[in-house]
Amino acid sequence: MLKVVITELEYEKALDIFSRSAGFEFIPTAADEDSVAQALKKSGAAAVILGVRKYTDKLYEALPEGGLIARFGVGHDGVDKAKAQAKNIYCINTPGALDDSVAECAVGLMLAVVRKLVTHGADLKNGHWHNCGGAELSGKTLAIIGCGHIGLRVAKICRDGFGMKVIGNDLNKPAQIDYYDSFCESFAQAVENADFVSLHIPHIKETENFINAERLAMMNRKAALINTSRGAVLDEDALYDALSSGVIAAAGLDVFKFEPYDPQSPERDLRKLRQVVLTPHIGSSTADACRRMAESLITDLRLYTNGQYGKMHLLQS
């Protein structure tokens, strides 16, 4: 029986899947690195399932040679692949399992922003009836920054479902371009006339603070920025300044530099701005996506147990 340490939140997200998977002993633990490392050492487990937190040292010391790190999700910037590789530790994730959930969250944020759903709802609960209008998504222009699987799913929903014009922007032209009205490698060109700019890029060294003051200034003043990718790709202070000064109109954010959300600068707290919709990194946290992620991990854990490493969803970088 393979012992697998798993962070408590991820275990609870798919308890029914994990609890009835024969051949594994799942050991839930707190998500901080000290607790994970201690659980690995105490149990002698060779595998661990992690959430979005960053793990820098003790995790890799606690895992045995040839162990396994599994990300309950897609983004893997919290895993130090170099340290894992140095100890021949396998690293996997669950590609494709959360595409629909994150894409729908991005579209939901667009609707929440353009119809002011959060502020109107809060006002009504506080006894204020302000029946002021918003705008439609229909006929608007959307720039998708990062044309991977999730970006493509957003493009399909917005073009087919809302009749939006969709512009794709990426360093490389995607294989599937059917759902983009146009594609360009220039960020400035992609966003100059866009009503919405939706981010779907990974957090790597080259994308740290990718959306900064300079790129925000390239957007038009009526635009709303949507981020369901990674918090670190956005300079939150620059966004606060842009929103406060009218450089752009609004924002919908599901991810942040520090989670739980903690402002980069205390005086630039995005929670104080009415034109911002904030959600606590819920993009992939649907029951449907959690089930798919758990099932994907169970499949890969069985492959790992059988020594079929090449068939697992191995991380490439």
Could you report the per-residue pLDDT of 7-34, keeping only the tens digit for each?
A: 999 999 999 999 999 999 999 999 999 9
Structure tokens at 174: 């995607």
The torsion angles phi and psi of 101, rounded to 5 degrees, stand at -65, -45
Q: Specify whether 281 is catalytic.
A: yes
Asked about 230 being catalytic, the answer comes back as yes
Which among 71, 149, 203, 281 is annotated as catalytic? 281
The pLDDT value given to residue 123: 92
User: pTM for the whole thing?
Assistant: 0.93
Q: Which of 252, 242, 201 is nearest to 219 (CA)?
A: 242
Chain segment 111-121, per-residue pLDDT in tens: 999 999 999 99
Please tell me the distance from the alpha carbon of residue 228 to that of residue 101, in angstroms, as a whole number.
10
CA 241 to chain centre: 24
Mark out the alpha helices in the chain (DSSP H runs): 8-13, 15-19, 33-43, 58-62, 81-86, 99-114, 117-125, 149-156, 162, 187-191, 213-216, 236-245, 287-305
**pLDDT < 70 positions in the chain:** 317
Give the CB-side neighbour count of residue 228, counting CA atoms within 13 A.
Answer: 25
Instruction: Assign 113 to helix, strand or coil.
Output: helix
Active site residue 259: yes
Question: So what's the pLDDT on residue 132?
Answer: 82
Q: Which residues pair with 5 in a beta bridge?
A: 27, 48
What was the pLDDT predicted at 173? 82
Domains of the chain in sequence order:
2-97+287-311 (3.40.50.720), 99-278 (3.40.50.720)
Residue 181 · residue 165 · CB < 8 Å: yes
List of residues 6+ apart from 133 with CB closer than 8 A = none
In sequence order, what are the beta bridge partners of 293? none
pLDDT of residue 152: 96
Question: Which residue is catalytic, options 230, 236, 292, 313?
Answer: 230
CB 52 within 8 A of CB 75: yes
Rounded-to-10 torsion of CA 85, 86, 89, 90: 10
Tokens representing residue 89 in the block: 């530790």
Q: Which residue has the tokens 């707290």?
A: 269
Structure tokens at 313: 């969803």
